[in-house]
Structure 1
Amino acid sequence: MKKFGWAYIGCGGIAQGTAKELVQTEDNQIVSVWNRTRSKADTFAEEFGGTVYATAEEAISAPEVEGVYVNVNGDQHGYYTELAIKNGKAVLCEKPFTINEQEAKDVFNHATEQNVYVSEAMWTWHNETALKVKEWINSGAIGEIVSADSAFEVALLKYTDNPRLTTPSMLGGALMDLGVYNIRYSYELFGLPESIQCEGEMHEVDYKEDIVFHYANFDVTMKVSMKEDGGHFFNIKGTKGSIAVPQFHMAKKAVLTTDEGEKTFEASENLLYGKQFSNVAQEIRSGRKEGEYISAKSTIEVMGLLDECRNQMGLVYPQEMDKD
């Protein structure tokens, strides 16, 4: 079978990381490329393949394109996803999916009207380790949930001066860059919380935050920071045991501990981004109009949780002010 043809819209850091894995899969290839700075697109295509186009619409509309991977900055995700939908092309769009819940709803409504597949690129939940953790939870392997705590604390501000991290109009801040993973993980395991508490260290955007999701019988606490290196884990305690997931958003192993002893799950798949592209390619070719692993409903609801966290921190993006 012919390899699935992807258009890459954006050639920055995440594009580099995903492309390195995509080209190692047996069923995917990059066939078209566009970037705002043409020279970056040329360099990218030389390494990973694909024809460089002068405009995003030309890259999206190229005849061999079956799916469009949108990985420009988050504030532009909605625009380029809508452009692909308008041109009848399936879309895999990076996180954060859009600016807010309402824009996410608008994008998916447009996709439904045009009968076009759209899904968020949330690679964690395409992969074996997170799915195994979910299986353990749902099967009652650790009994009733007592508590869960997580952290995703990476000193991004020390490692890069990229303005996207601190610019409100570019959706800067720790929540949208890192915290989205903690929030999605809790959502996937336990569903929507009954209520949320979120306290952040605010500058122009949030540099860090402490988040608590209150469920009926337990709380999930989350520490998120782009200011300092701290924890990177998701741990769950139950009445019959516990689950530890180091580096949870990209985990290749998880540890289940019960009275019967310790069981370590280790993923057999090395290409975590690659798995996502292969899954999505299969979904698109099968005729689905939304992700089986990452549904429209899940993306919209997670965007709503992010909105509520921002609301409690007082973080409003300029794009949202313009619409008031």
Structure 2
Amino acid sequence: MTQNRWGIAGAGFIAGMFAWDMGFTNEATVTAVGSRDLAKAQAFADERGPMRAHGSYEELIADPEVDFVYVAVPHSEHARVAELAVRAGKPVLVEKPFALNAAQAESLFELAKSEKVFVMEGMWSRFLPHMAKLREVIESGRIGEVVSVSADHGLRFDPNFPEHRLYDRTLGGGALLDLGVYPVSLVAGLLGDITEISAYGTLTATGVDAETSAVMRDAAGRHGIISTSLSTESPNRASVNGTLGRVELGYNYMIPTDLRIVTFGEGNPAHGEKVEDYIGAVEGGMGWRFEALEVGRCVRAGTLESPVVPHALTLKTLRLMDEIRRQVGVRYDAD
């Protein structure tokens, strides 16, 4: 079997996790890494290799031994670097959030369509076993009609280090885009067209959101409730609540975790509950490779987007985050 040859744009933590996880599959391999700092790229290659190191994203994308590009640069550079890959005719996987705003994403999707190049947001959690199980349970009708979705994601990042990228507005910092994208995407994927949003936030001295909470309602009256934070480690759990039961997602539901499926006897909690636990384990690694394998499958099939992370879901998520940011007062230069 010919391996899909990947180049990684970026040499940070997530890029390293992606490269490590690719070591658990024989279908794909990382052949090169690129950074604006050649020494940083070389150090990454020495640690995660064997792979070639490039001192620019342009050099990485032009590498003849790179067939697929994974964009893992700061948020502010996602759209620009992805565009370079699309114009070079190379399928591209863009780490979440796909872009700073929906306008950037729309432009990139239009370009990819005109160039006939595959593009997908790297929402890796949608490929994990517990997330596939969640979709299966909902589609089966076991918990009835979805009534509400609630989810949070909060981690503490020391505010005494404002040079961290998540405190840097010019890099697309803030809780919402980096952490809140998970709960917002979960809501976007399970509810219909969102017609109302009420959002509240607390900003840092650097102008990004330290805390953001939002309540959303779709056209059918279903609710989505999300919260995200840079200031505290929240429960990091989610719940999908239906007329006949609910699905509780375990701690840190954006990585491999468990599900608890609770169904009501005769559709009424007063008649007792039936509980089923599902352990969504991944054998080897954490599962970042699954999104890369999906890109390979789609490209071999000749499709320009994935049914698991379709362009419409990425756009819906970004439009929701655009409105939430507008309400809480976070602005980026690209807006």
Is the shorter-chain TM-score for this pair beyond 0.5, marking a shared fold? yes
AA partner of residue 139 (structure 1) = S
SS at match of 1:207: strand
Unaligned runs of 5+ in 2: 266-272
Comparing 137-146 and 70-79, the one that deviates more: 137-146
Match of 1:252 in 2: 257
1:93 and 1:120 in contact (8 A); partners too: yes
Match of 1:12 in 2: 12
Match of 1:267 in 2: 280
Comparing 6-15 and 296-305, the one that deviates more: 296-305
For residue 296 of structure 1, report the CA deviation from its aligned partner: 1.4
Deviation track 1:133-192 (CA, whole Å, cap 9, x = no partner) reads: 122122221123333322111112369655311121111110001111000011112233
SS at match of 1:75: helix
AA partner of residue 265 (structure 1) = Y
Unaligned runs of 5+ in 1: none
Deviation track 1:89-133 (CA, whole Å, cap 9, x = no partner) reads: 110011111111111000111111111111110001112211211
AA partner of residue 231 (structure 1) = P
Match of 1:155 in 2: 156
Counterpart CA distance in 1 for 2:143 and 2:238 is 15
Counterpart CA distance in 2 for 1:135 and 1:251 is 16
Match of 1:226 in 2: 230
Q: Is residue 24 of structure 1 aligned with residue 24 of structure 2?
A: yes
For residue 236 of structure 1, report the CA deviation from its aligned partner: 2.2
Match of 2:221 in 1: 217
Q: TM-score by structure 2 length?
A: 0.91
Counterpart CA distance in 2 for 1:14 and 1:93 is 12
AA partner of residue 248 (structure 1) = Y
Match of 2:200 in 1: 199
Aligned residues: 320
Out of 299, 303, 308, the residue aligned to residue 323 of structure 2 is 308
Q: Is residue 242 of structure 1 aligned with residue 255 of structure 2?
A: no
Comparing 95-104 and 238-247, the one that deviates more: 238-247
Comparing 67-76 and 193-202, the one that deviates more: 193-202
1:283 and 1:292 in contact (8 A); partners too: no
Q: List structure 1 segments (4+ residues) > 4 angstroms apart after TM superposition.
A: 158-162
Q: TM-score by structure 1 length?
A: 0.94
Deviation track 1:44-103 (CA, whole Å, cap 9, x = no partner) reads: 112322111233222112122121001000100111111111111110011111111111
2:256 and 2:282 in contact (8 A); partners too: no
1:41-60 to 2 correspondence within 5 Å? 41-49=41-49, 50-60=51-61
Comparing 177-186 and 250-259, the one that deviates more: 250-259
Q: Aligned in 2, Cα 1:199/1:279: closer, same or farther, shift over 3 Å?
A: same
1:137 and 1:189 in contact (8 A); partners too: no
